[in-house]
Structure 1
Amino acid sequence: MEQQPDPAFTPGLTAQVELTVTDSDTAQALGSGDVPVLGTPRVLALAEAATVVATAQLMPAGMSTVGARVELDHKAPTPVGRTVVAQARLAKVNGRRLLFEVTVTDGSATVAEGRIERVLIDRQKFVEKAFGQ
């Protein structure tokens, strides 16, 4: 029988995380471009981190979530030294699927926005399957 999400996972759940951009966060450092600004892979990782934080305190024992689908528009460059904030809001719950709306901002400017879908999984079974056990 498929595990259903905890009733605590209801639309409207939010969380945010911050990052002060360093040289290691740039497109140059990440290999995603040759410019010294916040790289798209780091923007995505930050947005995903916000989705994880949003569910962390309510996560049932033995369960976790994994990323399944991402739609992200990286709209503006952010130089080293600036602080960006990623916010995730749970927009929809469909069985084990959790759809988040995410935004990354630099002050009042929108750096990126999109949607991230995560799937609730049994952590032990997932890891065993990944390692062929």
Structure 2
Amino acid sequence: MTDASELPELLGRTTTREFVVSDADTAAAVGSGSLAVLGTPVLLAWCEAVTCAVLDLPDGSTSVGTRVALEHLAASRVGAAVAVTATVTYADGRLVRFAVEARDTGSQKLLGTGEITRVVVDVERFLGRL
């Protein structure tokens, strides 16, 4: 993909990545609770990482998150494998919306679901505005 005009071709594209919950990924470790289970901020970061992987943007382009709605439905222990899937559900100009879900790879239990919106930007132009 070379520019935002090609984004509508992304509709329906999906990517799945697997993560393993480590001690550093727990709610206790990231300050979002006191339990040694997957922290919601980490689940969100994994979901966002997979949305970026779906886009597979060329050098000089990136995407920034603009909206997140995430339900963390079930706990995951340290050592659990989690598959996170992101699917493009909408693309208009530079705006791309994704459906995301996370499942335990062993039981296939749904751990989280949501929607993430990202906007494709030119890196230099974006940073130049700061």
> How far apart are the structure 2 equivalents of 1:51 and 1:17?
10
Task: Tell me the CA shift for residue 22 of structure 1.
Answer: 0.7
Task: Tell me the CA shift for residue 111 of structure 1.
Answer: 0.5
- Share of identical aligned residues, percent? 37
Mapping 1:1-40, distance limit 5 Å:
4-7=4-7, 9-40=9-40
Following TM superposition, the consecutive aligned residue runs of length 4 or more in structure 1 with deviations greater than 4 angstroms are none
- 2:89 is aligned with 1:91: yes
The 10-residue stretch of structure 1 (43-52 or 8-17) with the greater mean CA deviation from structure 2: 8-17
- Number of matched pairs: 126
- 2:111 is aligned with 1:111: yes
Give the alignment's Cα RMSD to 1 decimal: 1.4
Task: Tell me the CA shift for residue 128 of structure 1.
Answer: 1.7
Amino acid at match of 1:31: G
> How far apart are the structure 2 equivalents of 1:95 and 1:68?
15
- 2:61 is aligned with 1:69: no
Task: Tell me the CA shift for residue 94 of structure 1.
Answer: 1.8
> How far apart are the structure 1 equivalents of 2:5 and 2:112?
28
- Distance change in 2, residues 1:48/1:78 (3 Å): same
Deviations 1:19-70 (A, max 9, x none): 11011000000000001100000000000011011011xx244211111100
Task: Tell me the CA shift for residue 6 of structure 1.
Answer: 2.0
- Distance change in 2, residues 1:26/1:5 (3 Å): farther
> How far apart are the structure 1 equivalents of 2:60 and 2:114?
29
Q: TM-score, normalised by structure 2?
A: 0.91
Task: Tell me the CA shift for residue 4 of structure 1.
Answer: 3.4
- Distance change in 2, residues 1:10/1:38 (3 Å): same
Unaligned ranges ≥5, structure 2: none
The structure 1 residue matched to 2:98, chosen from 96, 100, 104, is 100
> How far apart are the structure 2 equivalents of 1:43 and 1:66?
17
